[in-house]
């Protein structure tokens, strides 16, 4: 939880792989590739829900795998891994900026926007709209138990936006005044369901009830290709001490404190998903996923070109294993 936000987690993992290659000593390219596979597996285990993490790691591993298969020298392999890492990071940062520009078009003067948790994609949409001269109000839910809403509120206020912070439990009271709810995503399933910070799904239900627009802002490397095979996204369960103090728990041993970190918003409660590739209804996710990822049973067709492309989203990423 030191690195927060699915996009930042992906970039941090890729940076770790780059350091692993640059700072470790290997005798041969095979040894480096084997080591990299192990490091990638450990990193993937760190946060099970954010699909951006395995997608980013697989992007680097597949570039390294192609080099290793060709039997290139150790120096060349290190160089190609560095190139893949830089390419991912650049594409990720560019994707967030593009989402900011596309999403800002959805905001109009006088809007009241609600958001939940802390999403870089969402804050970029809001700060971009503000920098374009639009004036609107933002309501941020505090996002228990880790209060990431405070980070969002603070970032937006420092950028000059008008912000209110409310308890999560007050969302229904304020939703009637809200024009658009915009949230981020940790993973998007092929049916358009969105996995995001716990509490998102209930915001979506309330938005639905009040006919408030519900938008998701997310980079396409948050698409989960294995959901095309019917696999479910694993929801991370976190410790009880994020919810209650140790002293309270010790004096209430019979109470089981539960702390799921994410929930799933079904596609019927989502109006639009804003990506760097454009805006889609949730039902369009499966088509986008088919375009960006190879069919589950088929080998990537242009995998060798993937690592060289500056636009990551145009590359055929190896599917998330």
**Which residue has tokens 């290709």?**
225
Choose the binding region for ligand RI2 from 61-69, 159-167, 182-190, 273-281 (rule: CB under 6 A). 182-190
Which residue in the list 117, 263, 302, 311 is annotated as catalytic? 117
**Which residue has tokens 């589950």?**
296
Q: Which of 29, 55, 62, 119 binds ligand RI2 (CB under 6 A)?
A: 119
Which residue in the list 85, 168, 186, 271 is annotated as catalytic? 186
Check residue 130 for interaction with ligand RI2 (CB under 6 A): no
Q: Which of 121, 156, 165, 187 binds ligand RI2 (CB under 6 A)?
A: 121
- Residue 262, classed as helix, strand or coil, is strand
Q: Which of 18, 66, 180, 197 binds ligand RI2 (CB under 6 A)?
A: 197
Check residue 21 for interaction with ligand RI2 (CB under 6 A): no
Check residue 216 for interaction with ligand RI2 (CB under 6 A): no
Check residue 7 for interaction with ligand RI2 (CB under 6 A): yes
Choose the binding region for ligand RI2 from 112-120, 243-251, 252-260, 264-272 (rule: CB under 6 A). 112-120
Token pair belonging to 236: 């991370």
Check residue 5 for interaction with ligand RI2 (CB under 6 A): yes
Check residue 44 for interaction with ligand RI2 (CB under 6 A): no
Alpha-carbon distance 70 to 64, whole Å? 10
Check residue 142 for interaction with ligand RI2 (CB under 6 A): no
Strand ranges of the sheet holding 262-265, from the earlier edge strand across to the other edge? 187-188, 194-197, 262-265
To the query of whether residue 85 is one of the catalytic residues in this protein, the response is no
To the query of whether residue 21 is one of the catalytic residues in this protein, the response is no
**Which residue has tokens 């304020």?**
174
Check residue 120 for interaction with ligand RI2 (CB under 6 A): yes
Check residue 78 for interaction with ligand RI2 (CB under 6 A): no
DSSP 264-283: EE-GGG--EEEETTEEE-GG
Q: Which of 142, 168, 181, 186 binds ligand RI2 (CB under 6 A)?
A: 186
Nearer to ligand RI2, 20 or 221 (CB): 221
Check residue 91 for interaction with ligand RI2 (CB under 6 A): no
Query: Residue 99 in contact with residue 121, Cβ under 8 Å?
Result: yes
H helices present in the chain, as ranges:
6-23, 29-46, 52-70, 74-104, 120-131, 148-158, 171-175, 200-209, 246-251, 285-292, 303-306
Choose the binding region for ligand RI2 from 105-113, 117-125, 153-161, 207-215 (rule: CB under 6 A). 117-125
Bridge partners, residue 314, by sequence: none
DSSP 127-187: HHHHHTT---EEEEE--TTTTHHHHHHHHHHHTT-EEEEE-GGGHHHHHTT-SEEEE--SE
Alpha-carbon distance 312 to 162, whole Å? 35
Choose the binding region for ligand RI2 from 12-20, 103-111, 180-188, 281-289 (rule: CB under 6 A). 180-188
Q: Provide the binding-site residues for ligand RI2, judged by CB under 6 A.
A: 4-9, 50, 117, 119-121, 148, 183-186, 196-197
Catalytic (active-site) positions: 117, 186
């Amino acid at each position: 939880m030191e690195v927060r936000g699915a996009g930042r987690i992906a970039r941090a993992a890729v940076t770790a792989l780059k350091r692993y290659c640059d700072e470790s000593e290997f005798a041969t390219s095979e040894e480096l590739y084997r080591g990299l596979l192990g490091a990638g597996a450990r990193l993937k285990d760190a946060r099970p829900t954010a699909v951006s993490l395995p997608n980013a790691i697989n992007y680097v591993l597949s570039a390294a795998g192609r080099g290793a298969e060709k039997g290139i020298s150790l120096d060349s392999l290190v160089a190609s891994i560095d190139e893949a890492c830089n390419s991912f990071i650049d594409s990720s940062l560019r994707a967030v900026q593009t989402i900011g520009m596309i999403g800002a078009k959805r905001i109009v003067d006088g809007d009241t926007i609600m958001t939940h948790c802390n999403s870089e994609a969402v804050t970029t949409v809001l700060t971009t709209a503000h920098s374009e001269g639009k004036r609107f109000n933002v309501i941020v839910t505090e996002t228990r138990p880790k209060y990431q809403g405070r980070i969002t509120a603070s970032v937006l206020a420092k950028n000059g936006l008008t912000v209110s912070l409310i308890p999560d439990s007050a969302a229904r009271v304020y939703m009637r005044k809200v024009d658009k709810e915009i949230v981020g995503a940790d993973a998007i399933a092929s049916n358009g369901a969105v996995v995001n910070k716990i509490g998102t799904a209930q915001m979506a239900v309330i938005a639905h009830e009040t006919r408030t627009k519900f938008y998701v802002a997310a980079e396409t490397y948050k698409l989960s290709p294995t959901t095309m095979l019917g696999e479910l996204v694993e929801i991370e369960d976190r410790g009880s001490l994020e919810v209650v103090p140790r002293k309270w728990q010790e004096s209430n041993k019979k109470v089981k404190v539960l702390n799921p970190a994410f929930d799933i918003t079904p596609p019927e409660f989502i109006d639009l998903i804003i990506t760097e590739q454009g805006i889609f209804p949730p039902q369009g996710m499966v088509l986008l996923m088919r375009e960006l990822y190879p069919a589950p049973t088929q080998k990537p067709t242009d995998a060798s070109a993937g690592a060289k492309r500056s636009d990551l989203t145009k590359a055929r990423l190896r599917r998330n294993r």
